[in-house]
DNA sequence: CGGATTTGACCAGCGC
DNA sequence: GCGCTGGTCAAATCCG
């Protein structure tokens, strides 16, 4: 687990888990970029988010301590090369103009870490305080639910996230963040209390 | 009318 | 080399 340098624990006193995650990720992701070359280029993590299996590419790095155990945070860096359409490895968030893959010929591909957390929720989109624009949706193998692709709408900020509901457990939503926000959170985090309340209601069903 | 979403096409990587 | 899959693009469409 040499790719882990952040473990998230947050208690019920935290203003919001998603805000805490977003904040932590924004602050810490740059630390992971240098680790990106440690791993192979596969993207098979898409097939499973099972935290019990060390072989999977998204690894459990923390879990919610606020009473509903289904909210887990994962970290991984198996980013498909095709996702390297932007480069914020220097923290600038500026688009690399090389090409779609953001890789010069002959250069080693730059992979970005991904951070995912799964939440038991009836709603797919959890408000994390940032504004997102959907740019794609794909059917996923072995999953009856599609995966949605979102980009941060803030100009110059190229953070992406993927949202997918688990086929084997329809109540679980996996949100995967990729990149580092180059701007402060846009919305009040008061909203998260509402989301939390919602999640607690649903999780008790 | 402008911004957001949908959706089919396209491309690259990987495994066989 | 080819097929499969994931990820992105962009035109069309939707919606406030």
pTM for the predicted model, two decimal places? 0.64
Long-range CB pairs of A140-146 (<8 Å, 24+ gap) are A140/A46, A140/A164, A141/A46, A141/A47, A142/A47, A142/A167, A143/A167, A145/A170
Q: Is A81 exposed, middle or buried (0-12, 13-18, 19+ CB in 10 A)?
A: middle
A193 by DSSP, 3-state: which?
Answer: helix
Contact flag, residue A147 CB and nucleic strand C, below 7 A = yes
**Tens digits of per-residue pLDDT, A170-187?**
888 888 888 888 787 766
Strand B, nucleotides covered by protein (CB < 7 Å): 4-9, 11-15
CA of residue A31 to C1' of nucleotide C2, angstroms: 39
For residue A109, give the nucleotide whose C1' atom is nearest its CA: B13
* Backbone phi, psi, residue A19, to 5°: -65, -40
Distance CA A24, CA A22 (A): 5
Per-residue pLDDT of chain A (205 residues; tens, 9 = 90+): 323 233 233 333 333 445 444 444 444 433 333 222 223 333 333 333 333 333 334 455 544 443 334 455 566 544 333 333 333 333 333 333 333 334 444 444 556 677 877 777 777 776 777 889 999 999 988 888 999 999 998 877 888 999 998 888 888 888 888 888 878 776 655 555 555 555 544 444 4
Contact flag, residue A135 CB and nucleic strand C, below 7 A = yes
Sign of the Cα torsion A161, A165, A167, A168 reads positive
Q: Which residue is nearest to nucleotide B14 (CA to C1')?
A: A42
For residue A178, give the nucleotide whose C1' atom is nearest its CA: C7
Contact flag, residue A85 CB and nucleic strand C, below 7 A = yes
Contact flag, residue A134 CB and nucleic strand B, below 7 A = yes
Q: Per DSSP, which regions of chain A are E strands? A: 9-10, 59-64, 72-76, 114-120, 132-140, 143-152, 160-165, 172-178
């Amino acid at each position: 687990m040499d790719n882990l340098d952040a473990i998230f624990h947050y208690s019920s006193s935290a203003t919001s888990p998603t805000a805490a995650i977003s904040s932590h990720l924004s602050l810490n992701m740059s630390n992971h970029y240098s680790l990106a070359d440690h791993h192979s280029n596969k993207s098979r993590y898409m097939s499973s988010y099972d935290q019990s299996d060390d072989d999977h590419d998204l690894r459990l790095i923390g879990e919610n301590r606020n009473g509903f155990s289904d909210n887990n945070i994962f970290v991984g860096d198996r980013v498909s090369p095709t996702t390297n359409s932007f480069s914020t490895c220097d923290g600038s968030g500026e688009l690399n103009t090389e090409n779609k893959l953001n890789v010069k010929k002959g250069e080693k591909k730059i992979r970005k870490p991904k951070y995912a957390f799964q939440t038991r929720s009836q709603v797919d989109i959890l408000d994390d305080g940032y504004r997102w624009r959907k740019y794609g949706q794909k059917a996923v193998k072995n999953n009856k639910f599609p995966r949605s692709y979102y980009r941060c709408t803030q100009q110059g900020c190229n953070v992406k996230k993927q949202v997918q509901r688990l086929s084997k457990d329809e109540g679980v939503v996996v949100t995967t963040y990729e990149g580092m926000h180059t701007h402060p959170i846009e919305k009040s985090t008061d909203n998260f209390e509402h989301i939390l309340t919602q999640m607690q209601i649903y999780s008790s069903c």
